[in-house]
Every structure is written in C-alpha cells, then in structure tokens.
Amino acid sequence: KCYKLFKKDYPDTWQKILIKFEESTQYTEIGKTLGQWQQLFNKSAKCFTQSFASLSKAHGIEAAFIMAGSIVNQDGSLGYAYTTPRAEDFFMDCYRCNHDTLIGHFKTHIYHKSSLACLAEAFDTEKSDDKGKAKERDDIGCNSWASGKLFPWKQLPQKLGQNSLVCVNWPDGVLFPSQEQRSKPKGVSDLSILKCTQVIATIRDHRPHKLHFTLHPTKSDLVDSRKPVIIGAPPAHDSKLTKARRLFYNGKSDYKG
C-alpha cells in the first residue's frame, strides 16, 4: 500500500528517486580500511555471481563480467571475472586469454584511464562566478584539449606553449611528455604503472613541490624556446645533478632549472 501511494505522489520521478536512494547506500562504504575494502569487493563479487547464476538457471539469461579496483597502489589484489555456464570460455574464445590475463588487461586499462583523468584534472580550472575569470580561462583554451578522451602526450610541449602555460615540478626521473625511450613509442603508455603513480601523486600533493601549471606572461618566449614549457622537480638529495631538468617547445631539454 505504501509503495502504491509513493508512486501516486511521485508519478514522474519515483523510479529516479529509488535509483538515487540505492546509489546513496554505497556512500556509507567510503572511508573503509584496506581489509574492509577487500571484504566489500569480495562480498559484491559474490552477490553479482549469485544474481547472475540465478538468472541463468531460472530465466536462461547468460552473463559475463569483470571487476577490479581502480586505485593503483591499493587495489592490486582486487580482480574478479565470471561467466555463467553457457557463456563459459567466452573470454578465451573471443579474446584469447584466460580470466587472470583478462583481469590484468582490464586493470591496465583502468589505471591508464585514471592517470589520464588525473592529468586532465590538473589542467581544469575551477568554476567561478566571476565572468572575467571565466573569459580568461576560455582564452587560454585549456579545457578544449586537456579534458578530452585522449591526452595530448606527444604534443603537450606545443600545446602548453601555444596556450602560454608552463608545467612546473614534473616528477624527477619520469619521462617527459613527447620524449621517447623506445624505437616504437606508444605515447603515455610508455610510462610504467609506477611512473604513472608518481605523476598522480605529485598532482594530488599539497606540498611546495606539487605538480602545477602557471600562466606565462609572454607567449613568444615559450613558442620560440627561449623559456621552458616544462620544468622538472628538484633532483633527489642523492642525485649527481644540482639543477632540475627543463623541456622546451622545440623538444630540446637541459638541466638548468
């Protein structure tokens, strides 16, 4: 009776309300310890498995799914793949890999997307009601190229210079954008998961040497390679180098930062 009255009171939105309520229950899981997070993952995987197994048995609905955590330095052990009986060997037949290999590829894909999202976030400026500042951001044009699905790794120095931007405190020891370390470069995929983690950590850091972007007053200095578009973080205390590495618009670099 209550359910009927609820639908009567909210004839157009009752489904959306229920969906939002179901989503809100997930927020109670935020802030869990690593062990509790593992238990939640296993519990969710078991729940999905039982649901799909029941659907397969009762209604002939088959399914295949993959689960994995998206936090690089925490969720390495969280991975699960499942197929209902009639979908068995689907991954092997179609993707030529077993469940473990598939989970590995899936995690790599997730970590790659997470890294791109964090890098793009560093370029995004916060929303403001100040129209003047909003116009300035539009003039810079960051959002048009830094927030897309494909991060401009190979063209980043040129994009920075063309938009009068300087990247400051790029992690020491991490390959500079656009620079290659193999005969057949793969862009940002050349970075190992460890190196991607370093970049993400410096973006999220709140200390003085966090990775950030500044607006350079003279665009021509950047485009003509008189000033660097990327300045590396200070070398480690045990490094033989005394100054940070710098990358210029034309692709050349030095250690005079």
Domain ranges of the chain: 31-121, 153-254
Q: Do 76 and 113 contact (CB within 8 A), yes or no?
A: no
Q: What is the value of pTM for the model shown?
A: 0.46
- What architecture does CATH give domain 31-121? 3-Layer(aba) Sandwich (3.40)
Q: What is the pLDDT of residue 179?
A: 74
Angle between helices 193-204 and 99-123 (to 10 degrees): 30
What is the percent of the chain with per-residue pLDDT over 70, rounded to a whole number? 76
Helix or strand or coil: residue 30? coil
C-alpha to C-alpha distance for 227 and 163, rounded to whole angstroms: 14
Whose tokens are 């799914």? That residue is 65
CA distance linking residue 104 with residue 81, whole number of Å: 11
Q: What pLDDT sits at residue 29?
A: 53
Residues 6+ apart with CB under 8 A from 246: 228, 230, 231, 232, 253, 254, 255, 256, 257
Q: pLDDT below 70 — which residues of the chain?
A: 1, 22-34, 72-73, 118-151, 180-189
> Angle 128-213-245 (CA atoms, 0-180°, nearest 5)?
175
